[in-house]
Structure 1
Amino acid sequence: MFTERSTDGDPAGRDPAGGDPAGGDPAFGDTGTGTGTEAGAGTGTEAEPVQEGTAPRRAPGRRRSRTVLVGAAFVVVTAVAVVGALGLGGGTETPAAPPRAGSAVAVTRTTLVERTKVEGTLGYGAEIPLPVKATGTVTWLPEAGTTAERGDTLLRVDDRPVVLLYGTLPMYRELGMAAGPTTAPEPGVPNPPASGGAGGKGSGANGDTNTGKGSGTGTGGGTETGGDSGTGTAPPPAAPPAATSPQPLRGMDVLQFESNLAALGYEGFTVDERFTSGTERAVKRWQKALGLPETGRIALGDVVYASGRVRLGQAGVRLGAAAGDNALTYTGTTRKVVVDATAQEASWAVRGTDVTVGLPDGRPVRGEVASVGRRATSPEGDGGGSGGPPTVPVTITVPDQRALGRLESGPVTVEYVGRKRERVLAVPVAALVALAEGGHGLETEDGRFVTARTGLFADGMVEVSGPALREGLKVRIPQ
């Protein structure tokens, strides 16, 4: 049974609750039209009757249903996420995370060489005192840095030149012709007869004349005849010593000196171990050229021997001072590098080892280890404390002196080869990744991490090894 809607107070016939009889109430599904007071008078479907005096019901539970559905979806999504995070997905494998960004490189097989750089000093080496044995007053000195060779004057003492000659044997004695031994009469040989000897006449004490082979002073008054001499009272005169002649001086120092004299262009003698008259004449000609008295003898302080050309250093005395062993210092003329290497790290310093010398302008030149000191010393100024480890001097020669240009001294770097590993697997150092469990690893292109044991580091590469590593394997360099 339908219930009529009240139209009291609404001449237009509108529903006080907001309904519209002309168009029907959408809440009830009315679609009919009409002007009467009975609902459903139009062509629409009949709606459920509404109790009189009550407000019409709104859409049944739509808003509430919508809220319940949203909450249920949120619960489902959260549960799926939790299950996935706990790995309870029913045995389904979770795909690997995408690899990190970065360039890929291949594991290569190569030879790694460890190179180490140390500091050195370019120069002519340590200055050594010249063995000057001349005595007197220093009257002339050369400038520091002057180069002297065979026959040059090193300095002047009492205005006499001290000349450089080449050799290893020092001057230790005067050179010249040696005096010959004095000849003495042999035992048992009678002295030669004096004046008035055989067949001569002697004067007697009484003025008588004695005749015979000998002479003597007679004691009688008559003349004595016969072969025997009378009894004399005056001793015969002593025989004069035999004449002496100079003898050649012998020795290796003579050979060394004559070799230099011949190299200076003097001739007329044989280069051997004998200082002869021919050597003496050549010495006189040399002395004349030097402005010295032509004695033919070489005094102890006239020459100084060195192994070759020298570069003169700072003088140890001033003009007017007495000459001595420290009057002048020298070095060789070849530039070299000296490295003060620690005793613990000097294993690379082996005679003949090739090194690379870096000049101040950046140019590299080839060097070679020439010698290694045998005595370790503390750093200068350390005072023997623990400020630095002891060092040994390592001398490095540069075969191509022209490559050094005009540079005579200054700081340089010396690069030498330490360890060497041939045909090992290697990757760039930047490809190493620190693993959470410790050690290092490499990241492959598919995002996996493999363990890598490290070896020698050299030139930005590192030696690696491990069961999963092989030549050609692509690994990533993380960005």
Structure 2
Amino acid sequence: MSTATRPAEVAADDPDEPPARRGRWRPGFLLGAVVVLVAAVAGTAVTFATGGHADRSTSTDRRPPSTATVTRQTLVDRETKNGELGYGTPRARDSRLSGTVTWLASGGATVKRGRTLYRIDNDPVVLLYGGLPAYRVLRVDVSGTDVKQFEQNLAALGHTGFTVDEDFTSATADAVRDWQEDLGLPETGQVEPSRIVYAPGEVRVESHGVEVGDTVGAGKVVLSTTGTARLVTCTLDVEDQRLARKGAEVTITLPDGTRSTGKVGTVETVVQTSAAASGQDAQTETKIEVTVTGDDPKVLAGYDKAAVDVGFVASERADVLTVPVAALLTLAEGGYGLQVVEETGTRIVVVRTGLFAAGRVEVSGEGVTEGLTVGMPGD
């Protein structure tokens, strides 16, 4: 930013000064001094704020090397955070059975409703859709939301003859026997929780915790899964939680510089535990985990995993007047001004500044209007 300064003031003669010290002014010399002073003032293309108003002096011989235009727009200030493009945070799937692992869905495979995730002693553990974990045996005369969730899956898999509600009836048991027959399980008419893994939708196998042939017990991680949609995951400090508003728009910058847009999906508070150093306790830290869904999945499809930059909106000002930050002049009296460029010359107007973002600044003040041409100082 350029600095505007006042021309030096000329002190008046002191009437109390002795004549010997003041000396004599010759008329020719006096005229020359006045001409020099006028020329100096006329050559100064800067005006200053006095009493809150801009002195509108003009000059036609001190134009700026370039100009810019006052623009009306929405000004957005973004904070950039590191993110990871992938399929979201993996979810470990523990076995609730004891036995030998005889089959595993392959890494990267997509598993849909009713399909097998893995086999223990050659009996399947299948995926169903829902948010409530399987926690008890479902049989005749059992009622609850978990019954309805299971019956919804049973109906979606094509089984009929029962009513989808919260009551497990004999008709439900008959449909369960048909389902068990299709899976090659004993036809008991009861649903064991160890045979079901619930997820919100289809899953992608991220990694294996065991190999085929391993012996597992209850609580052993067999494999980990993610969703199938490509997501960006960001881990924020707690003080940055204000950035993570569900549904907020963000920008995504890929490693090759390609930019896309997305929206904040889930926002969760997580506790991370760091490994304990020798003789010290493990350290825990609270973080904000944010998932971002891209608006254009095709843009994200070129990467399996990648580090990306995510631009969160920190501040936003709609329908404001803005200029390039470099157009601001720092006034000697304090504050900022703009050099307005007109056909007859230039003048300085005082402005108030607001939000600074993306190389521009919000400005307002008397005489500041959209389309106004302002000077841009040289290097």
TM-score by length of 1: 0.57
Give the Å deviation of 1:102: 0.7
Q: Which amino acid aligns with 2:268?
A: G
Write the mapping of 1:199-210 to structure 2, written as runs, cut at 5 A: none
Q: Using CA pairs under 8 Å that are at least 6 residues apart, name the structure with larger relative contact order, 1 or 2.
A: 2
Q: Which amino acid aligns with 1:117?
A: T
Runs of 4+ in 1 over 6 A off after TM superposition: 79-84, 380-384
Write the mapping of 1:347-386 to structure 2, written as runs, cut at 5 A: 347-375=242-270
Whether contact under 8 Å (1:122, 1:409) holds in the other structure is yes
Write the mapping of 1:265-284 to structure 2, written as runs, cut at 5 A: 265-284=158-177
Q: Which amino acid aligns with 2:142?
A: R
Q: Which amino acid aligns with 1:128?
A: R
What is the aligned partner in structure 2 of residue 16 from structure 1?
Answer: none
Which is higher, the Rg of structure 1 or of structure 2? Answer: 1
Find the aligned partners of 2:340 and 2:165 in 1 and give their Cα distance: 81
What is the aligned partner in structure 2 of residue 113 from structure 1?
Answer: 76
The one of 422, 427, 430 aligned to 2:323: 427
What is the aligned partner in structure 2 of residue 308 from structure 1?
Answer: 201
Whether contact under 8 Å (1:355, 1:368) holds in the other structure is yes
What is the aligned partner in structure 1 of residue 216 from structure 2?
Answer: 322
Label 1:89 to 1:371 Cα distance change in 2 as closer, same or farther (>3 A). same
What is the aligned partner in structure 2 of residue 144 from structure 1?
Answer: 107
Q: Which amino acid aligns with 1:327?
A: V
Find the aligned partners of 2:149 and 2:35 in 1 and give their Cα distance: 103
> 1:452-477, CA deviations, whole angstroms, 9 ceiling, x for partnerless residues?
44332233322334557566654322
Find the aligned partners of 2:237 and 2:207 in 1 and give their Cα distance: 30
Counterpart of 2:133 in 1: which secondary structure? coil
> 1:57-77, CA deviations, whole angstroms, 9 ceiling, x for partnerless residues?
xxxxxxxxxxxxxxxxxxxxx
The one of 277, 297, 311 aligned to 1:401: 297
Whether contact under 8 Å (1:111, 1:421) holds in the other structure is yes
Residue 123 in structure 1 maps to residue 86 in structure 2: yes
Q: Which amino acid aligns with 1:298?
A: V
What is the aligned partner in structure 1 of residue 55 from structure 2?
Answer: none
> 1:236-294, CA deviations, whole angstroms, 9 ceiling, x for partnerless residues?
xxxxxxxxxxxx43222444333323322233444444444444443333333323333
Find the aligned partners of 1:116 and 1:171 in 2 and give their Cα distance: 41
Write the mapping of 1:163-242 to structure 2, written as runs, cut at 5 A: 163-176=126-139
Whether contact under 8 Å (1:171, 1:304) holds in the other structure is yes
What is the aligned partner in structure 2 of residue 201 from structure 1?
Answer: none
Q: Percent identity?
A: 44
Give the Å deviation of 1:163: 1.7
What is the aligned partner in structure 1 of residue 8 from structure 2?
Answer: none
Most deviating of 138-147 and 462-471: 462-471
Whether contact under 8 Å (2:272, 2:286) holds in the other structure is yes
Whether contact under 8 Å (1:343, 1:376) holds in the other structure is no
Find the aligned partners of 2:110 and 2:28 in 1 and give their Cα distance: 90
What is the aligned partner in structure 1 of residue 122 from structure 2?
Answer: 159
What is the aligned partner in structure 1 of residue 312 from structure 2?
Answer: 416
Whether contact under 8 Å (1:147, 1:309) holds in the other structure is yes
> 1:404-450, CA deviations, whole angstroms, 9 ceiling, x for partnerless residues?
33433212222333323345443322323445566544445546655
Find the aligned partners of 2:275 and 2:138 in 1 and give their Cα distance: 47
Residue 258 in structure 1 maps to residue 151 in structure 2: yes
Find the aligned partners of 2:179 and 2:72 in 1 and give their Cα distance: 71
Q: Which amino acid aligns with 2:263?
A: E
Write the mapping of 1:13-32 to structure 2, written as runs, cut at 5 A: none
Counterpart of 1:250 in 2: which secondary structure? coil
Q: Which amino acid aligns with 2:360?
A: M
Give the Å deviation of 1:340: 2.2
Number of equivalenced pairs: 323
Q: Which amino acid aligns with 2:34?
A: G
Find the aligned partners of 1:271 and 1:440 in 2 and give their Cα distance: 70
Counterpart of 1:137 in 2: which secondary structure? strand
> 1:382-423, CA deviations, whole angstroms, 9 ceiling, x for partnerless residues?
999xxxx97422222235434433433212222333323345
The one of 156, 176, 179 aligned to 1:286: 179
The one of 446, 457, 460 aligned to 2:356: 457
Whether contact under 8 Å (1:377, 1:392) holds in the other structure is no
Find the aligned partners of 2:35 and 2:200 in 1 and give their Cα distance: 93
Counterpart of 1:463 in 2: which secondary structure? strand
Q: Which amino acid aligns with 1:303?
A: I
Whether contact under 8 Å (1:355, 1:416) holds in the other structure is yes
Whether contact under 8 Å (2:339, 2:374) holds in the other structure is yes
Find the aligned partners of 1:420 and 1:363 in 2 and give their Cα distance: 23
Counterpart of 2:304 in 1: which secondary structure? coil
Find the aligned partners of 1:463 and 1:457 in 2 and give their Cα distance: 7
Find the aligned partners of 1:81 and 1:118 in 2 and give their Cα distance: 71
Give the Å deviation of 1:150: 1.5
Give the Å deviation of 1:362: 3.8
Whether contact under 8 Å (2:260, 2:295) holds in the other structure is no
Residue 344 in structure 1 maps to residue 239 in structure 2: yes
Label 1:424 to 1:329 Cα distance change in 2 as closer, same or farther (>3 A). closer
Whether contact under 8 Å (1:100, 1:478) holds in the other structure is no
Whether contact under 8 Å (2:86, 2:304) holds in the other structure is yes
Write the mapping of 1:78-93 to structure 2, written as runs, cut at 5 A: 88-89=33-34, 93=38
Residue 135 in structure 1 maps to residue 29 in structure 2: no
Instruction: Choose between structure 1 and 2: higher strand proportion.
Output: 2
Counterpart of 1:286 in 2: which secondary structure? helix
Gaps of 5+ in 2: 1-25, 44-60
Give the Å deviation of 1:156: 1.0
Write the mapping of 1:28-107 to structure 2, written as runs, cut at 5 A: 88-89=33-34, 93-94=38-39, 96-97=42-43, 98-99=61-62, 102-107=65-70
Find the aligned partners of 1:105 and 1:271 in 2 and give their Cα distance: 67
Find the aligned partners of 1:362 and 1:90 in 2 and give their Cα distance: 60
Find the aligned partners of 2:167 and 2:69 in 1 and give their Cα distance: 78
Most deviating of 254-263 and 439-448: 439-448
